[in-house]
Amino acid sequence: MKRANMILLVLLALALPLSLLAGRVWLDFGVTPNAEVILAQLRLPRALLAIIVGAGLGAAGAAMQGYLRNPLADPGLFGIAPGAALGAVASFWFGYSASAWLLPIFALTGAAGAMALLALIAGRTGGIALFTLAGMMIASLAGAMMSLAISFAPNAFAMSEIVTWLMGALTDRSWREVYLAAPLTLAGILCFLMARRDLDALILGDAAARSMGMRPGVLQFWLIAGVGLTVGSGVAVAGIIGFVGLIVPHLVRPFTDRKPSALIIPSALAGALLVLVADSVVRILPTITELRLGIALSLIGAPFFLWLLLRMRRGYSGGLM
């Protein structure tokens, strides 16, 4: 596990400066006009935000797969990402999105609403099935309300803004978003670390875990808080970026001892690396307008998901489990 962390840290250290230089304009200090401004005000906050969002999504994916004991689980299952997205959509709908802080605050409020609803429905019994179904219901409800908001958008501009924002991107983000997302994501990852022993106990199932002292309600609290903080803040600053939480734990798992606790930090690092690299790639692709990061990751993630399903259907679980 420590070796995996070291390798990922080295890769991140290599990828970060390359990401800072890469883009429509390849920064060449002394040649590129305003290179320092581009670096300090655009590239650096964007790269850091990619690292923060990716780390949060990766860690949340590892925790969710551990909790649901399912390699196909994704943080989106909790309904918190759609809840946050619904909050952001509401800010567009009511025309508040132009204000610097209101969009992320609306998104975080949406995430908090989804978290509260989830905690309320799942209650203190802590049943995993009820929890998952409640999350799916919230996701479905939030999705329907977003569609409703798009259908009844007050004007074409708002509709276009909503649809574009939902695709997820890190374009034109500033230090403001970094300051918002960094502490929340860090707090979320700490919540997952608080849950790590209980997640390990769940390897042997719910009954064995409870017999070892795992308290289902406490575990759910840490997970709701963790997913709410990481995914909620990620959606608040970058929109919907799917599949990172699903893919990353798979890529990392073979390099760990496969316990959920051993997967959280490497998944955070690998998630950071994946989003940083993907965001750099969408910047340098020769497209007329920049490919949205959310679309790019879905284009990678969906075939990966299918490949996972096919491997599972063949009964091979060596790399999966």
For the chain, give the number of residues. 321
The number of residues that bind another protein (CB under 8 A) is: 25
- Site residues for another protein, window 47-86 (CB under 8 A)? 66, 69-70
Q: For 109-122, b where at least 16 C-beta lie within 10 A, e where not — what string?
A: bbbbbbbebbbeeb
Contacts 24+ apart (CB under 8 A), 217-222: 217/124, 217/125, 217/126, 219/67, 219/126, 219/195, 220/119, 220/122, 220/126, 220/131, 221/119, 222/191, 222/192, 222/194, 222/195, 222/198
Q: Least Å distance between CB 261 and another protein? A: 10
Answer for the pair 149, 93: CB distance below 8 angstroms, yes or no: yes
The piece of 47-55, 56-64, 195-203, 239-247 that touches another protein (CB under 8 A) is 195-203
One residue of 24, 29, 151, 213 binding another protein per CB under 8 A? 213
- DSSP assignments along 147-175, one per residue: HHHHHT-SSHHHHHHHHHHHT---TT--H
Q: Which of 130, 208, 306, 309 binds another protein (CB under 8 A)?
A: 208
Does the protein bind another protein through residue 201 (CB under 8 A)?
Answer: yes
The stretch among 111-119, 125-133, 201-209, 265-273 that binds another protein (CB under 8 A) is 201-209
| CA distance linking residue 231 with residue 244, whole number of Å | 11
Instruction: Select from 128, 137, 197, 251 the one that contacts another protein (CB under 8 A).
Output: 197
> Quick check: 205 binds another protein (CB under 8 A)?
yes
Residue closer to another protein by CB (options 183, 319) is 319
320: Cα separation from own chain's centroid:
20
Q: Which is nearer to another protein, 176 or 215 (CB)?
A: 215
Helix orientation angle between 44-68 and 244-252, rounded to the nearest 10 degrees: 70
Site membership for another protein, residue 202 (CB under 8 A): yes
Site string for another protein, 260-289 (x = CB under 8 A): x-----------------------------
For position 217 contacting another protein by CB under 8 A, the verdict is: no
Residue 215 binding another protein, by CB under 8 A: yes
Among 13, 31, 156, 207, binds another protein (CB under 8 A): 207
Q: Which stretch binds another protein (CB under 8 A): 54-62, 158-166, 207-215, 285-293?
A: 207-215
3-state secondary structure of 65: helix
Give how far the C-alpha of residue 36 lies from the chain's centroid of Cα atoms, to the nearest Å. 30
Both tokens of residue 229? 């903080």
Instruction: Using CB under 8 A, pick the residue from 14, 98, 148, 204 that binds another protein.
Output: 204
Instruction: Please work out, in degrees rounded to the nearest 5, the angle formed at the alpha carbon of residue 182 by the alpha carbons of 181 and 187.
Output: 100
Q: Does 321 bind another protein (CB under 8 A)?
A: yes
Stretch binding another protein (CB under 8 A), from 17-25, 197-205, 226-234, 280-288: 197-205
Residues near another protein, by CB under 8 A: 66, 69-70, 197, 200-205, 207-208, 210-215, 257-260, 317-318, 321
